[in-house]
Structure 1
Amino acid sequence: MSASQSHVNRNFPSRSISQITNEIEEITDEELVKQVNDLKHQIKVLTLENEVFERTMSRLDPTLLHGIQQALEYATRLNSNSSLNVGSFVRSQTSRLFFESLTSPSRMFASPSKISTKRAESSARVGGTVMFGTGPKINVLERSEIVSAEMEILMANLELMRKKAAKQHALLKAQLEELELRVEHIQNFREEFYKEVVIEGWDKIAQRIPAEIWVRYMNEWVKITDRKIGKFRLRTSTLNTQYSKLKGQIKIKAELSEHLRPVDFEKIKIENNECLSIIDKKLQQLAELKKMTGDANLTLSIHKKALMEQNIYLNEVISNVKRKQKQTVTLNKETEVIETQAKGLAVKLDDIKKLRNAYEVPDILDYVHVKAEIADLKLSVKLLQNRLRILQIAFSSHHRKLTKMSLES
């Protein structure tokens, strides 16, 4: 608000509050809102300008800021009481005001000693006019130069802070990872110790943990730790060697980049032209090789087709051979069976031949007598069968009678 009040005082130095009030009563609401928005915008701009000026003065000569706050407070009181005599206050503060140092960018970026030598010369001229808005002015070009310089400084500081924050973040991240590894290692060691020493090493008879188990476990753990430390040392030395090597390479590249001359660029240009000519030759050779490769691929496809046909014919031949082999096996089995049957039939044939050779034809009369005896025997068998049937009928009738008599009695 102090900046806005000083701005209003500079724009309206000779107008009274009653006149301003009358003008405000005459304008419409829209104009009033517009003027209020304009004033807010001007206040914002002046606030930013004041911040930039304060940063510039605090960077160049912090003593220039002495008395600024008192001057702003006095200007505020002056706005409410315009009849107040400000001569004594201005004369007491002229040696500490900064407006003369802001009249040009060359003075703004000059050394504090030069600024202090010119401060006394400008104090008399500034003292009577600065509080009424008629002091030295800073044009737009000078303001833009001041703002650009401050922005460059702020961006440089911001970049430094970003780099510092990135380094700090990387360091903290590495520390967190190290702590996580330590916690994990301690947890694993605790679980292993509890399992091997507390649980498995417990002596049920003595109701305690023997010292030998604990000592043996600690010795083994120390050996394992020593091996791991050796590995870590070797890895650290390897990383340090790689780091020093990369650092030396970066240093050499930086030195080479610093000592570059136009002749080096011409040399690189000539080498690039030679490389381009070599690349063109290689491209031509590559085109010829591609053509040869195309012809070879065509020939290869033809031979592949012929080979596929030969493979098909070969597969058919192999299948026929397998089928013939199966048929051969079947025929061999059938041959063995037939040979076995032939041997059996040959044996039977020999027996029949022997029987035929040993057989004698009987006499005809004997044959007739035998046939007559057979006929008599058949007749007697038939008579006996008839008699048996009659006896069975008689037996069944007697059995029925006997059954009937037994039932009646």
Structure 2
Amino acid sequence: MADTESVTTQDTETQPDTDPLSELSDERLYQLVEDTLQSNDVLNTETEMFEKFLKRVEPKDGGHSSLGSTSTPVTATPSASMQDLRTVGRRRSKSKSGTIERLLKLSAEQKCDIAQRELEELREDIDKFKEESEKILDNHKAHIEESDTRLSEIRKSSYEFERDILKGGVNPRTGKVVGERATRYFDDRIRAKDTLIEKLRLKNSSLKVQKRKLQLQLKQKEEMGEVLHEVDFQQLKIENAQYLERIDERNQDLLRLKLMAGNTMQVLNSYKKKLNTLTAESERLKSEITSRQDMLTRIDAETNSVEEERSKAEKENKKYRTQLADYRVPDVLDYVQDKADLYELQKTVKSWERKVEIAEMALKTHKKTWYQMQMASQHISPWKQPLEAQYQ
């Protein structure tokens, strides 16, 4: 609350000819007016609160005992603009004679006490209003449930009446409702209602008995001093508030741990993905290493075989080199003589081959002549006929 301060003047002086407000600019005057209106709003609010407090406390405490024997409070918010306004007021009041009675102001403790009491009263009013609102809401809910139950029962009764009487109780010959059936239907309904009333009456009586028992137990507890009082309820409220704070702290810790678990799961999933990729890469590298090792084995085998062939080739090359080193080129006349002998030998071979062909031809001629001579000298038997084919 704003501190209360009275505008007082203890000495009287003559008012100057010029108005002090004329010395201020328009903006300063506008600011002074705005600050004054704001201070007046605060004063009106405080005055209303003090009046409510006095009306509520005066019949209980007897007068202004809670205020410490103070008069009607006048509060104001100290600021630079209010200082200017008080200065102007002092200047204008210098010409007035007499002194103004100094108004008493409330102390900070009294203001805090009043504000605390008003706050408690406001909370109590809010709690009462909540309780009344909850009671009204419960009553409305009960009325709505009762209306829904009655509506469902009415609909059910209407459906059954239409099914049993209007449709099922019509005489097919006359086309009218049979009176006996309608009477029997209403009698059954009345008996069902009587049965329901009896059940509800028994239930009501049992509830009354239970209520009496609970009242007796409550009375016994009150006599034994085991009933909870207002202080106990306040203590329970405080403990409940403490437990709620602890629950909020635990919830905050739980949310923090959930966030940490979520972040951990994300990191774990990323590491799992990396592990899968690295595992696949490792498998690929293992297969590649295996293939490279097989290739290296084949290359070693080929290297060994090549080394063996190289050693053999070196041996042959060495032998050929030794032969080449020992080789002596023959004379040209020897080469010409050998070539001439080769030509002579080739001619001799060709002549002998021609002679063999001529001899074979003469042999065939002699065989044919010999066969003809045998045929002429002897009779040819049938089994000797294939011999001609042999010679032919």
TM bracket (short chain): 0.3 to 0.5
Larger Rg: 2
- Select the structure that is richer in helix: 1
- With the length of structure 1 as denominator, give the TM-score of the two structures: 0.39
* Higher-RCO chain (CA-CA 8 Å, sequence separation at least 6): 2
- With the length of structure 2 as denominator, give the TM-score of the two structures: 0.40
